[in-house]
Amino acid sequence: MTTKRSAAGLAGLARSAPWLFSFVGALVIFAVTLAANNWSGAGQIITAALSFGAFYAIVGIGQMFVITTGPGNIDLSVPATIALAGAIAMTTMGGSDAMILPGLAAAIAAGFLIGSFNYLLIWLLRIPPIIATLSSSFIVQSLAIVYGRGLRIAPPPFLAEIATGRVLGVPILAIVTILLAVVMAVVLHRSVYGRSVTAIGQNINAADLAGVRVGTMRFATYALSACFAAFCGVMLAAFSGGASLNMGEEYLLASIAVVVIGGTSVAGGFSNVSGIWGAALFLYLLITMLNTLGVGAGLRQIFTGVIIVAVITLAGGRKKGRG
Amino acid sequence: MPRTILDPKILRSLVPALSFAVLLGAIFYVQPRTMSYFGLNLMLNLALPIAFATIAQMFILTVNDLDLSIGSFVSLVACITATWLNEAPLLGVVALLGCIAAYAALGALIHLRNLPSIVVTLGMSFVWSGCAILLLPSPGGSAPDWLSGLVKFRMPFIPFSILASLILGLIVHFALMRSATGAVLRGSGGNPQAVERAGWSLLKTKVTMYALAGFFGVMSGMILVGTTTSADANIALRYTLFSIAGVILGGGEFTGGRVSPIGAILGALTLALVGSLLSFLRISPEWQIGAQGIILIVVLALRSLVNRLEERQA
């Protein structure tokens, strides 16, 4: 009886505050890590989690808007975009502080073009977004390889300072990303664009009949996701002392994982931004915990995978629409 | 209306075969020496495991799911084949059967809890990779003799890879497209409600399709090791994207249970041959993956054209 009631309570909580679970999970893992570490080094762990979590959060927010527009909508071109944008930014900047803004603009513009190309394929060829972003990511990947060949240009000092520096112990990049998350949460829940994206995800035909400009909104969503991936690429290159071709690799899985663990429905039409931060911290702390416990690379991957599957199994498949 | 060559249905099924023929023709034209037993064998040897992985992916796509873990799964199978199956055959066989059972269990989990396959298989890709790393931390191992003997077997007149692809395509075609069971399996992707109302268990069809995908994934990994004679944990990661692209190239639709086994194999071979053509044209291998993307887009554009033709006729 009590278990039934608490299960119902949990389900209710999952509906009213889906972001809560990722933060609770992050806290639990954080506590275990600290215990294994003899209750020391808490500050260091939090700082590292905030820095690395920020990268997950940036790509996660873009991916979330795409996933919100409904089943089958996933941007697979994130890793290729990260690699190309990072290379473009580092080349344009050429290590000079004065060129930071032009370099950033060039990278974001490249992201915008990639996103536009993605939607052009979806719209013109009427193909599922997964296939469209997959095909374009092949091309972008080749461009990144050719463009970034043997290139290892150090980031401008000021940009590197932003990517790695701290204010009062808090990473600057984390502050920027938290602000970004707040802005995007307002966009998602309060702006015409955000409401339209949610409406499209719940029922694209109903949204169309209700006067939502479906095409424009979907175009904006794919462009937005690619721009966020491009921004992540620039900051990642600045963080790690230069762009590399495979620096985007892990972000395909990570971007989807943080969205889902954060409580956004994969069926679309139901999402939140704050859960992404919780999930980003969760993912990074999980890796830290397994490292602290002395778990090897193989077991670490197995645990990560099992936990992703367990989270989605517990969260359950939400039926499409309001149900 | 007479069934002419312009009939969209025929056109659509011709697109994969035509793109394969055009590509093969271009390769023969650029490098006539490939038009031989050894040339074809060399070009297509590494395509055979991709064809098997593509068939595995096709089973998942038939029931409206997507498998983002097939590449890491094939890698794990390759690691098991190059270690356990070689040193302790019994343990190896049990492990490989366990892999297929795990796939069937995933199908059941996805169906019972109504989970998004993309996320579940994404998580599983970590699990497969982790197991592969545990088993074979650094590249190595060796293929069982009987396996490399089988894959390297020199058939008279026709290369093994071509014959194997042909047989694979025909078997899966007749089992899935021509049999009564196959119709039910495809129907559970096309209209699940109707299949369920008609008295078939959707759970059973999903488990069957996932088990079949696991089986062909295992075949893919074993053949891969037979060809390369050793394995590593990342050996087949690119198969995930290749297999999805192959099914789509071969005329498969993303939803609705509309797939084509023969087309899927042609799609996989086409993608594999792109690399050969580029190297014969002396284009740097850096453009290889980009060229595969362009071919994918061109074929999809052709198909979209055919579909519009069909709409206009209707």
* Domain ranges for chain B: 43-309
| ipTM for the assembly | 0.84
| Cα→Cα distances B166→A62, A130, B170, B183, Å | 43, 29, 6, 22
pLDDT for residue A276 is more than 70: yes
Cα separation, B134 vs A296, in Å, equals: 9
Residue of chain A nearest B237, judged by CA positions: A249
pLDDT of residue A3: 55
Closest by CA to B67, choosing from B3, B125, B20, B5, is B125
pLDDT of residue A137: 92
Both structure tokens of A76: 């697979």
pLDDT for residue B1 is more than 50: no
- Residue A170 bridge partners (DSSP): A167
β strands within B199-268, DSSP E: none
* Chain A hits for B307, Cβ within 8 Å: 126
Å from B1 to nearest chain A CA?
27
CB-based contact A128 B114, cutoff 8 Å: no
Handedness of CA A232, A234, A239, A241 (dihedral sign): positive
pLDDT of residue A44: 86
Share of chain B above pLDDT 90, in %: 41
pLDDT for residue B158 is more than 50: yes
- Asked if A38 is an interface residue toward chain B (Cβ–Cβ < 8 A), one would say no
Mean local confidence (pLDDT), A280-296: 88
| Cα→Cα distances A218→A65, A161, A172, A189, B256, Å | 9, 35, 32, 17, 23
- A55 with A232: CB under 8 angstroms? yes
Window 262-291 of A: residues touching B by CB (8 A cutoff) are 266-267
Q: Which amino acid is at B201?
A: S
User: Per the domain annotation, does A44 fall within a domain?
Assistant: yes
**CA distance between the termini of chain A:** 25
Nearest to A308 among B122, B248, B286 (CB): B122
Residue of chain A nearest B106, judged by CA positions: A309
If one compares A240 and B256, the residue with the highest pLDDT of the two is A240
Task: Return all residues near B164 (Cβ < 8 A) that are at least 6 apart.
Answer: B48
Share of chain B above pLDDT 70, in %: 98
Mean local confidence (pLDDT), A82-87: 94
Work out the pLDDT band at B109, boundaries 50, 70, 90: very high
Which of A81-90, B11-20, B235-244: highest mean pLDDT? A81-90
pLDDT for residue A126 is more than 80: yes
Torsion of CA A192, A193, A194, A198, to 10 degrees: 100
Mean local confidence (pLDDT), B94-109: 96
pLDDT for residue A150 is more than 80: no
pLDDT for residue A13 is more than 70: no
β strands within chain A, DSSP E: 166-167, 170-171
Share of chain A above pLDDT 90, in %: 49
Half-sphere exposure of residue A233, counting CA atoms within 13 Å on the CB side? 40
User: Per the domain annotation, does A290 fall within a domain?
Assistant: yes
pLDDT of residue A319: 45
Mean local confidence (pLDDT), A185-197: 92
pLDDT for residue A322 is more than 50: no
Mean local confidence (pLDDT), B273-280: 84
If one compares A1 and A197, the residue with the highest pLDDT of the two is A197
pLDDT of residue B275: 80
* Chain B hits for A141, Cβ within 8 Å: 289-290, 293
Work out the pLDDT band at A320, boundaries 50, 70, 90: very low
Cβ neighbours around A6 below 10 Å, total: 10
Mean local confidence (pLDDT), A183-196: 92
Q: Burial level of A203, CB count in 10 A (0-12/13-18/19+)? A: middle
Work out the pLDDT band at A323, boundaries 50, 70, 90: very low
pLDDT for residue B17 is more than 70: yes
CA angle at B11 for the pair B5 and B12, rounded to the nearest 5°: 165
User: Per the domain annotation, does A321 fall within a domain?
Assistant: no
Both structure tokens of B236: 């087949």
Q: What are phi and psi of A269, to 5 degrees?
A: 75, 5
Share of chain A above pLDDT 70, in %: 92
Interface test with A, best of B122, B237, B271, B274 (most A CBs within 10 A): B122
Mean local confidence (pLDDT), B21-25: 91
Cα separation, B298 vs B295, in Å, equals: 5
- A282 with A25: CB under 8 angstroms? yes
Q: pLDDT tens across A47-76, in order? A: 989 999 999 999 999 999 999 998 888 999
- B108 with B251: CB under 8 angstroms? no
pLDDT of residue A14: 64
pLDDT for residue A225 is more than 90: yes
- Asked if B60 is an interface residue toward chain A (Cβ–Cβ < 8 A), one would say no
pLDDT for residue B107 is more than 70: yes
- Asked if A316 is an interface residue toward chain B (Cβ–Cβ < 8 A), one would say yes
Number of domains chain A contains: 1
pLDDT for residue B237 is more than 80: yes
Give the residue numbers spanning the domain of A280. Answer: 19-315
Mean local confidence (pLDDT), A97-117: 95
Which of A44-53, A242-251, B29-38: highest mean pLDDT? A44-53
pLDDT for residue A227 is more than 90: yes
Which of A210-224, A251-265, B184-198: highest mean pLDDT? A210-224
- B11 with B309: CB under 8 angstroms? yes
Task: Return all residues near B311 (Cβ < 8 A) that are at least 6 apart.
Answer: none
Interface test with A, best of B296, B305, B306, B310 (most A CBs within 10 A): B296
Cα separation, A25 vs A279, in Å, equals: 8
Instruction: Write the CATH number for A167.
Output: 1.10.3470.10
pLDDT of residue A6: 62
pLDDT for residue B131 is more than 50: yes
- Residue A167 bridge partners (DSSP): A170
Mean pLDDT (chain A, rounded): 87
Window 103-142 of A: residues touching B by CB (8 A cutoff) are 121, 124-128, 130-131, 134-139, 141-142
Both structure tokens of B149: 């003997």
**Helix-, strand-, coil-residue percentages of chain B, each rounded to 5:** 75, 0, 25
CB-based contact B292 A137, cutoff 8 Å: no
Cα separation, A317 vs A315, in Å, equals: 7
Mean pLDDT (chain B, rounded): 88
Cα separation, A141 vs A104, in Å, equals: 20
- Asked if A321 is an interface residue toward chain B (Cβ–Cβ < 8 A), one would say no
Work out the pLDDT band at A40, boundaries 50, 70, 90: confident
Mean local confidence (pLDDT), A208-228: 93
Q: Which amino acid is at B11?
A: L
Mean local confidence (pLDDT), A95-118: 95
pLDDT of residue A198: 92
Residue of chain A nearest B305, judged by CA positions: A125
User: Per the domain annotation, does A323 fall within a domain?
Assistant: no
- Residue A321 bridge partners (DSSP): none
Which of A248-257, B69-78, B175-184: highest mean pLDDT? B69-78
pLDDT of residue B6: 64
Half-sphere exposure of residue A27, counting CA atoms within 13 Å on the CB side? 5
- Asked if A260 is an interface residue toward chain B (Cβ–Cβ < 8 A), one would say yes
- B191 with B62: CB under 8 angstroms? no
Q: Maximum CA pair distance of chain B?
A: 63
**CA distance between the termini of chain B:** 11
- Asked if B298 is an interface residue toward chain A (Cβ–Cβ < 8 A), one would say no
- Asked if B304 is an interface residue toward chain A (Cβ–Cβ < 8 A), one would say yes
* Chain A hits for B114, Cβ within 8 Å: 316-317, 319
